Amino acid sequence: MLSMRKNLLTVVAATAAALALTSCAQEGAGPTTAAEDETTYASVSWAENPTTLDELTDLAEVVAVVTISGVAGTGNIEETSGAPLPYTDFSADVQEVLTGDVAGETITIRQHGDASQDVVFVDDPLMQVGDEYVLFLTEHSPGEYRINGGPTGRMIVTADGQIVALDSSSLEPGELVTELTELTTAVETAATE
């Protein structure tokens, strides 16, 4: 039942993203392409909107610290609305698994947006090669994962082990932790409850 609910949430998130992209492109509801900047900016409303670390951990099959090692590919998910949903697949080296199991030392993570098509989701900027993140993930096919809750399920790990949530994270202020060791403890506790 939980797997079916997660699959439904994935479909809803993808549909919402496609509708938002269509809305921005067709109605000018969001930032549009400028002559000097060929990038299309779109906004997304996420089907999963966790506000606590417990909720975020419950959504995830895996919570891991990863380093983005490269771009594995890009493409479009064809939506019934007629607007393709662009994505980028990133290769990620798993540094540490906080909870769950991953299929190997390197995994693929799919994120909405595609720099090669100049499509960027403003609330969820594309990950950068070489950056380290804590990711709350769900496997959508063997070895391939998606991030739960969009920008909420992705936290930057700084060189000194600090955790930085994205500005568009839906976590309540009291839920934000600043140290990797503190986050590890919180995730492990949430996973065992």
Identify the structural domains of the chain with CATH numbers, from first to last. Answer: 47-116+123-192 (2.40.50.120)
Q: What angle do CA 74, 130, 151 make, to 5 degrees?
A: 65
pLDDT digits (tens, 9 = 90+) for 57-112: 999 999 999 999 999 999 888 876 767 888 999 999 999 999 999 978 999 999 98
Q: Which structure tokens are listed for 68?
A: 């983005």
Q: Is the pTM higher than 0.85?
A: no
pLDDT value at residue 65: 96
Chain centre to alpha carbon of residue 68: 13
pLDDT (tens digit per residue) in 3-47: 433 443 343 444 444 434 433 443 344 444 444 567 777 777 777
Residue 178 has pLDDT above 50, yes or no: yes
